[in-house]
């Protein structure tokens, strides 16, 4: 990993090249949004102590590789981010992480510990 930009975007080295990666199926708070900096820190903490691989799904209109991040044992790190309450399941693109979001909501993990968190897709409309 080169750098974490925010809670769902990072720069990584893939096949010897630096690429910008948008995590598939998750949407983290924007940096200027409540819990945004904490979400970025959550992703940094998740990635800092381990090697991970990318399962690239597609390239988005912004040129980012949209990917699922997997740890060395094949554990889905996108799911982990949602279950820790650091991001929403981005239902517009995938329903895969909705059950993990429910776990986070029910346990009031991360952003679910505050009253009425605003989803990033609503925040961006402001």
Query: What confidence tens digit (pLDDT) does each residue in 21-74 have?
Result: 999 999 999 999 999 999 999 999 999 877 899 999 999 999 999 999 999 999
Active site residue 44: no
pTM of the model: 0.93
| 3-state SS assignment for residue 76 | strand
Quick: pLDDT tens for 62-108.
999 999 999 999 999 999 999 999 999 999 999 999 999 999 999 99
The shares of helix, strand and coil residues in the chain, as percent rounded to the nearest 5, are: 30, 30, 40
Q: Name the catalytic one among 3, 11, 22, 92.
A: 22
- If one counts the domains in the chain, the total is 1
Residue 92 located in a structural domain: yes
Active site residue 22: yes
3-state per-residue secondary structure call for the chain: CCEEEECCEEEEEECCEEEEEEECCEECCCCCCCCHHHHHHHHHHHHHCCCEEEEEEEECCCCCEEEEEEECCCCEHHHHHHHCCCCEECCCCCCCCHHHHHHHHHHCCHHHHCCCCCCHHHHCCC
Q: What is the CATH number of the domain that holds 51?
A: 2.40.50.90
Q: Name the catalytic one among 3, 11, 20, 30.
A: 30
Q: Which domain holds residue 95?
A: 3-112
Active site residue 84: no
Residue 121 located in a structural domain: no
Residue 126 located in a structural domain: no
Q: Name the catalytic one among 64, 84, 96, 100.
A: 64
């Amino acid at each position: 990993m080169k750098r974490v930009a925010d809670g769902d975007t990072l720069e990584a080295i893939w096949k010897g090249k630096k690429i910008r990666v948008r995590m598939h199926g998750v949407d983290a708070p924007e940096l200027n949004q409540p819990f945004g900096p904490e979400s970025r820190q959550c992703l940094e903490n998740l990635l800092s102590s381990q090697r991970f691989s990318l399962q690239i799904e597609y390239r988005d209109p912004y040129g980012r590789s949209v990917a699922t991040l997997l740890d060395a044992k094949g554990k889905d790190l996108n799911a982990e981010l949602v279950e820790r309450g650091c991001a929403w399941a981005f239902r517009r693109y995938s329903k895969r992480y909705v059950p993990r979001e429910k776990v986070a909501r029910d346990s009031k993990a991360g952003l679910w510990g505050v009253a009425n968190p605003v989803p990033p897709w609503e925040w961006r409309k402001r």
